[in-house]
Each structure stands twice: as C-alpha cells, then as structure tokens.
Amino acid sequence: MDNLRFKLFVIFLLCLQQFAIAQQQAKLVAKIPFESRNGTIILTVKLNDFPRPLKLLFDTGADGMAVGAGLADSIGLKVTRTQKASVVGGSMDISISSGNTVHMGSFDFKNQSIAIFKEMHKEGTDGIIGNTLARHYIVKVDYDRKELLLYNFGDFEEKGGTAIPFTIPAGLFIIHGTLSITADQPHTGNFVFDTGAAYNLICFRPFVKQHKLLVSGFKSESHGSTVSMGMTTPTFAGKAAAFSFSNVPPLKNMSVTLMAGGGQTESWDPGFDGSIGVGLISRYNFSINMQKKEIYITPNRNAAIISP
C-alpha cells in the first residue's frame, strides 16, 4: 500500500509540474535566420569546436541530427554506439555520436546525438537537424521573415490561423489527411509533417499498394526517384483531385508523388502512409507546440503565388 501511495504522489507531482508549465508565459529563447530554397529551411550552425559553418536542413521528418561519414571524420565525431535506422524505402545500420553541441549564433543546443550515415544526399547542405528542436522548445517558422524562433514551453497563443492536432507514435509528427486521386475515391491516411521532403505530398509504397493508387485513375506526368540517406526508390508524379488535412479547406488538383515497388519497398512498413512536404508546408508560417500537440498554420505571402 505504501508503494501505491508513493506512485500516486509521484503522479500528483508530475501533474502539478505540467500545470505550472502551462500557466507560465512562453518566452523567446532564440531567433535564428534561415535560408529557403524551394521551401526548404536551411540553418547555418557550428558544431562543437569545428571552425567551418555548416548548412543543416531543418527536417521534421527525422527524429534527430545526421551527417555523412566524411564530414563526421573531419569534425572528429566520436562514435558511441551503433543502431538500425529507418529511412524512406527501407532501413540501414548507422553509427551514433553522443554529447555534441550545436551553436546557432548565441544559442547553444547542447548534448545532442548525431547519426552518421555512409552517404548523405541533401543537395546544398551538410546534413540535417531533425525535430529534436521541437521536443525541447516551441518552434515557430516564419517564412515571410526567414526566421526560426524558439520559445520555452508555456502559454503560447496564436490567432488568425488553424490549429492542427498531431500524434507522435514513433517520434514523428503525424497528421490525419484524406487523398482523392479521383473525386469519387477518398482514401484516409496518416502523414508525416515533413519539412525535409521536397514534395507537396508523397505516398509510401504500402499505402499506394493497399489502395491501388497507381491503377485507379491516376495519370502519371513524370517518373523519377526519391533518395534518402543513400536509399533510392522509384516514384511517379501526377495530379490528385484533392487533398485535405484537419479542417483546412481541400487543395484541389494538387501535385502528388506515389512510391512505386521494387527492392526493400515491398517489405518496408514505416507505420504511416506518406509525408506532407515543403511544397505544401511552405505556403504557411507555422509553429510546432509539443505541449499542446498542435501545429498551428497561418497562410504566408507564398500562399498566393505557389500553385498546389
């Protein structure tokens, strides 16, 4: 009985702590400028004592930081463990370096783990910084000002936009959406909010195969491939009649990318159905609030000039 009372007391204290955080006003911690190329968010940082500035892609479709093996050797990253990592199209073995510090101007992001991949194909960048920022801070991305802002968790109110709930089943931010390749065939799914994906929307192989998307009225306009950490997967691009998520008005006649079969993709099961990429995301200024499990979007200046 004493053990039960102790557990209940601990739960009570944790609830009080969360309530206290919620009552505090969120405070601005850092304001970090970024570059944007076709909607991507690229931060200029320094890593540990390495003198050269690095360009890291802010990639909410990844749950941590990553660089290639060559750069890791130049920086002098020390491998502390190895593990298997899931990437688009399959999985691979990687090394991990722990206890690193990322310098973003006067802001230091300390004690970070960095994944080391044999190959990195993020054109024009040195690697990625994933959604680990959003697990420690409220992250606000302002495309109009080209600024990424970090706030301590607390009371953070926004107006004039739309709050989109998300879940985090495997360390990624998952949004419920509905895709209609043709107007009479809606298919609901769960999609990653992915600033690292260079698409409006990409549907992964299991979802494509389950709903026969490639052979149910889809008209391919081009074919190519997606490359993720050295893993290459064939794709087809075309138009979808509509895509909607949360209570945002449906986007009509939107470009969509469908993953084809072959290799590891036939057995790959990521646990979600695709990714909402920067082609769509960059139409909005947004904030990611882990405390509320909400992404708050507001149309920005790009919304009027970017076609779906």
Task: Measure the CA–CA gap between 138 and 136, rounded to whole angstroms.
Answer: 7
What would the mean pLDDT of 232-238 be, rounded to a whole number?
86
DSSP string, 219-258: -EEEEEEEEETTEEEEEEEEEEEEEEETTSPPEEEEEEEE
Tokens of 120: 């990195």
Domains of the chain with bracketed CATH:
30-151 (2.40.70.10), 162-304 (2.40.70.10)
pLDDT range class, residue 11, cuts 50, 70, 90: low
**pTM for the full predicted model:** 0.85
Residue 20 burial (C-beta neighbours within 10 Å; 0-12, 13-18, 19+): exposed
Q: Could you tell me whether strands 65-68 and 127-129 are parallel, antiparallel, or unpaired per DSSP bridges? A: antiparallel
SS3 194: coil
Task: Please check whether residue 137 is in contact with residue 123, taking contact to mean a CB–CB distance below 8 angstroms.
Answer: no
Residue 272's nearest CA partner among 183, 184, 172 is: 172
pLDDT tens digits for 116-161?
988 776 668 999 999 999 999 999 999 999 999 999 999 998 888 9
Task: Please check whether residue 42 is in contact with residue 171, taking contact to mean a CB–CB distance below 8 angstroms.
Answer: no
Residue 173 is given by DSSP the state -
pLDDT of residue 1: 47
- How many C-beta neighbours within 10 Å does residue 79 have? 13
Residue 292 is given by DSSP the state T
List the single range of 109-123, 209-223, 282-296 with lowest mean pLDDT.
109-123
pLDDT tens digits for 74-111?
999 998 887 666 555 456 677 899 999 999 999 999 99
Whether 250 has a pLDDT exceeding 50, the answer reads: yes
Task: Measure the CA–CA gap between 129 and 304, rounded to whole angstroms.
Answer: 29
